[in-house]
């Protein structure tokens, strides 16, 4: 049983560009959350998707958007990249019965130059 | 609203000695509390969770934590440290009752880096 998978592993982008990160949830999970972990910090909640809708959102600007597909996989899009967007982006999945118990993927390391 | 304070940014112990990582929390609702571990260049792994059952929770790799409501604490302990325990540890809180607002939004502490000396 595959756990949460994310792609790509690493990404380097230039300021002003746009980026898309991808996540496949653990088998049987239907809820996907995204977190941003800046260097030396704890992860911060970006948003959560359930039934292809954004259900809850953290304190992130509209430049951060997402999508969930019918197979529960998800994308995180960031527009107009800033240097401060450089971070590890983590995807977590959960089953509806226990949305608080989340399983994390290995993350995508985004570097903005 | 919820928040987590990890009282030590770094903890250093010798192999074979006890480990104590301290965490205080604040939550508007009854909390669910977790400890996650992150090894370098690896994802987050769930160590243990508290969800309003027994207040003393046992996790993987010999770790345990005790929920103390009166002290709003959830400290992580291990009787004897191993070299492989060296990693960063995060205390996490989320409201146990969705209440229409939480849906499992996790709030992380700033992390405690555990160093284990031979």
pLDDT class of B40 with cuts at 50, 70, 90: confident
The reply to whether residue A48 touches residue B104, judged by beta carbons under 8 angstroms, is yes
Burial of A21 (0-12, 13-18, 19+ CB in 10 A): buried
Residue range B4-14: mean pLDDT, rounded: 97
The per-residue pLDDT for range A59-87, each reduced to its tens digit, is 999 999 999 999 999 999 999 999 999 99
pLDDT at B2 (0 to 100): 85
Token pair recorded at residue A69? 């597909």
Residue range A46-53: mean pLDDT, rounded: 93
The reply to whether residue A99 touches residue B103, judged by beta carbons under 8 angstroms, is yes
pLDDT at B105 (0 to 100): 84
B67 has a chain A CB within 8 A of its CB: no
Of all residues in chain B, the percent with pLDDT exceeding 70 is 93
pLDDT at B61 (0 to 100): 94
3-state SS, residue A88:
strand
Taking 50 as the threshold, does the pLDDT of residue B101 lie above it?
A: no
Taking 80 as the threshold, does the pLDDT of residue B106 lie above it?
A: yes
Contact partners, residue A104, CB within 8 Å, separation at least 6: A4, A90, A91, A92, B36, B43, B44, B45
Q: If you ran DSSP here, which 8-state letter would residue A26 be given?
A: P
Nearest to A102 among B98, B106, B110 (CB): B106
Q: Which residues of A85-102 are buried (b: 16+ CB within 10 A; e: fewer)?
A: bbbbbbbbbbeeeebbbb
Taking 90 as the threshold, does the pLDDT of residue B54 lie above it?
A: no
Of all residues in chain A, the percent with pLDDT exceeding 70 is 96
pLDDT at B97 (0 to 100): 62
Say how far apart CA B103 and CA A4 lie, in whole Å.
19
CA-nearest of A45, A86, A32, A29 to B92 is A45
Say how far apart CA A33 and CA A25 lie, in whole Å.
10
Q: What is the DSSP annotation of B56-101?
A: EEE-GGG-EEEEETTTTEEEEEESS--GGG-EEEEEEEEESS-TTT
Token pair recorded at residue B30? 């009854």
Residue whose entry in the numeric block shows the structure tokens 């939004």: B105
pLDDT class of A98 with cuts at 50, 70, 90: low
Q: What is the CA radius of gyration of chain B?
A: 14
pLDDT at B98 (0 to 100): 52
Q: Is the dihedral of CA A77, A88, A33, A56 positive or negative?
A: negative
B32 has a chain A CB within 8 A of its CB: yes
B90 has a chain A CB within 8 A of its CB: yes
Q: How far is A104 from chain B (nearest CA, A)?
A: 6
Taking 80 as the threshold, does the pLDDT of residue B26 lie above it?
A: yes
Residue range B4-10: mean pLDDT, rounded: 96
pLDDT at A113 (0 to 100): 97
Query: Is residue B83 a contact partner of residue B32, using CB atoms and an 8 Å limit?
Result: no
Residues of A with CB under 8 A from a CB of B: 4, 31, 33, 35, 40-45, 48, 50, 55-56, 58, 90, 92, 94, 99-107
Query: Is residue B88 a contact partner of residue B71, using CB atoms and an 8 Å limit?
Result: no
pLDDT at A76 (0 to 100): 98
């Amino acid at each position: 049983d595959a756990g949460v998978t994310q792609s790509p592993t690493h990404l380097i982008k230039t300021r002003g560009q746009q980026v898309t990160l991808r996540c496949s949830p653990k088998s049987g999970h239907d809820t996907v959350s995204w977190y941003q972990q800046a260097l030396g910090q704890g992860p911060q909640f970006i948003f959560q998707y359930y039934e292809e809708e954004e259900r809850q959102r953290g304190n992130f600007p509209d430049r951060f958007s997402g999508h969930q597909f019918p197979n529960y996989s998800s994308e995180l899009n960031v527009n107009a990249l800033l240097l401060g967007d450089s971070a590890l982006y983590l995807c977590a999945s959960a089953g509806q019965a226990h949305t608080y118990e989340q399983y994390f993927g290995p993350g995508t390391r985004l570097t903005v130059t | 609203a919820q928040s987590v304070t990890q009282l030590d940014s770094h903890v250093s112990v010798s192999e074979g000695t006890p480990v104590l990582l301290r965490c205080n929390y604040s939550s508007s609702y009854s909390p669910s509390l977790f400890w996650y571990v992150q090894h370098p260049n690896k994802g987050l792994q769930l160590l243990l969770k508290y969800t309003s059952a027994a207040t003393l929770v046992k996790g993987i790799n010999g770790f345990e934590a005790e929920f103390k409501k009166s002290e709003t604490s959830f400290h992580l302990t291990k009787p004897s440290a191993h070299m492989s325990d060296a990693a960063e540890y995060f205390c996490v809180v989320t409201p146990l009752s969705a209440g229409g607002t939480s849906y499992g939004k996790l709030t992380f502490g700033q992390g405690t880096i555990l160093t284990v000396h031979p």
